[in-house]
Structure 1
Amino acid sequence: MNVALKQALTPARRPCGSLSVRVMGELCVLRCSGTLWLPAHGTLVAGDLHLEKGSAFAARGQMLPPYDSRATLARLEAEITELAPARVVLLGDSFHDSRSIGRMAADDRAWLDRLAQDRDWVWLEGNHDREALTQADGEAVSGLPGRVVGDMELGALFLTHEPMQAARPGEVAGHLHPCARVVAHGRRVRRPCFVTDGRRLILPAFGAFTGGLNVLDAAIAGLFAEPPMAAALGKDRVHALAWAGLV
């Protein structure tokens, strides 16, 4: 790893247990919840909520507890309460499929309205929810709060759903649900994680029922010219992990 990257990726511990790094010079706070806090922009970013995944499985005869949306919204509310962001950006796949919005309970829909009140609420289109969100006039469908965009620029950062093979500098993306696996105390531990090399950043999935892909998989590792840093989510802190120690 070159000197510039090493300096950018030397994490600073935050009081809440989060880590701060710089991506193209922008201060990025990697929070224990899996959200990204951009203090210079007053913006909270979360990826891959997959709301109503439980009800989607139920519709196909696979029964999961129908509380994933409520659990995910509760976690998101906790972040909003603590940080009071002026803007919330959801990086796509906020809904699990094209019918998720219609399946949401009325109480959960009202909860979304309360969370979005008095702040800029931005839905990025993902591969799972593009059909559900897209309207010709760019407004959120079915009475959802906020606005819908394909991607957006924020300072030196470029927020999008799916990482591009030829990365745009400052890319912040989701989609891949990265997880890091290490051996600790004689057993393997697997945790959702951030992945960054100081040029781009991939967020873990935020939703309650989301799975994960090992960061050593070519779909993730192949996006980085040099070994990146994995920042794994712990109970009360984010752990910076050396790439060479992952399994």
Structure 2
Amino acid sequence: MTAHAFTLSGAPLSALPTGALYWAEAGVLAVADLHLGKAERLARRGGALLPPYDTAETLTRLEAEIARCAPRTIVCLGDSFDDDAAARALPPGAEDRLLRLMAGRRWVWIAGNHDPGPVTLPGTHLAEWREGPLTFRHIAQPGETAEISGHYHPKARLSLGGRRIARPCFLADAARVILPAFGAYTGGLATDAPVLDALMGQEAIAILTGARAVPLPMRPAQGPTPRPLRGDGG
């Protein structure tokens, strides 16, 4: 896999193809919007019945990134669980997998809008976390700089070979980085959504996830305007 390297406020960062962000110099791996237990929450509330494998799939992807990067600190940027009840109703074995991942490293849970953080699990529970020049929080704040956040689940829609595809992506400019959702069953918000357009500078790029991380201008110079994608962005 090929990451995309860039800097934010002097900190050298890597946007990984999976949607995780790695700050090797500080030993920090950040992931956003795991939404563990989403299938259970939808079924509980009478929504769509999805195969109940989202938690296992998300944890498998997270395990692989931790094994590859060997970070000293993991930062989960909020909405780690789809709601508080989902945190208490994890599938068998999921909590043990999380505890094994947490062993021997610092783990920071940032509160999201779906959950205040899994308070029954160990780790540090914060509204936001500062390390070096960077601030990690769930929702980007207008006017802030050196900020890393999640929440919006950005997705880019583009044409390839005559067909339209949607790809989760990072958004990055000189002030901030917004991570894509790392969770398996997550929708997304189109990169041309007004809230994202207002947050990101004119120089902003979208870094597509997939087999490799591919940077593109967030606002294409020409071509059809992307249509909104399904998902609540949060």
**Same-fold status (TM-score > 0.5):** yes
1:244 aligns with 2:211: no
- Look up the match of 2:229: none
1:32 aligned to which of 4, 17, 41: 17
- Look up the match of 2:131: 154
CA–CA distance in structure 1, aligned partners of residues 200 and 50 of structure 2 = 36
1:92 aligned to which of 78, 100, 118: 78
- Note the residue ranges of structure 1 that are not aligned, 5 or more in a row: 1-15, 134-139
Counterparts of 1:114-125 in structure 2, within 5 Å, are 114-125=100-111
- Look up the match of 1:201: 177
- Look up the match of 2:160: 184
TM-score (norm: length of structure 1): 0.86
How far does residue 198 in structure 1 lie from its aligned partner after superposition? 2.2
Per-residue deviation, residues 102-145 of structure 1 (Å, max 9, x unmatched): 11124000000000000001100001011xx3xxxxxx622x12
Asked if 2 retains the 8 angstrom alpha-carbon contact of 1:112 and 1:145, the reply is no
- Look up the match of 2:93: 107
CA–CA distance in structure 2, aligned partners of residues 182 and 105 of structure 1 = 36
Asked if 2 retains the 8 angstrom alpha-carbon contact of 1:51 and 1:69, the reply is yes
CA–CA distance in structure 2, aligned partners of residues 178 and 224 of structure 1 = 12
CA–CA distance in structure 1, aligned partners of residues 87 and 136 of structure 2 = 23
Per-residue deviation, residues 42-86 of structure 1 (Å, max 9, x unmatched): 010000000000000111233111111110000000000111110
CA–CA distance in structure 2, aligned partners of residues 129 and 64 of structure 1 = 21
Per-residue deviation, residues 143-176 of structure 1 (Å, max 9, x unmatched): x12120110111111100001122x210100000
How far does residue 222 in structure 1 lie from its aligned partner after superposition? 0.9
1:49 aligns with 2:34: yes
Asked if 2 retains the 8 angstrom alpha-carbon contact of 1:47 and 1:92, the reply is yes
Stretches of 4+ aligned residues off by more than 3 angstroms: none
Asked if 2 retains the 8 angstrom alpha-carbon contact of 1:42 and 1:87, the reply is yes
Amino acid in structure 2 at the alignment position of 1:109 = E
1:129 aligns with 2:115: yes
Amino acid in structure 2 at the alignment position of 1:103 = A
How far does residue 218 in structure 1 lie from its aligned partner after superposition? 0.6
- Look up the match of 1:79: 65
When the two chains are superposed, the root-mean-square deviation of aligned CA atoms in Å is 1.2
* Identical amino acids, percent of aligned pairs: 38
TM-score (norm: length of structure 2): 0.91
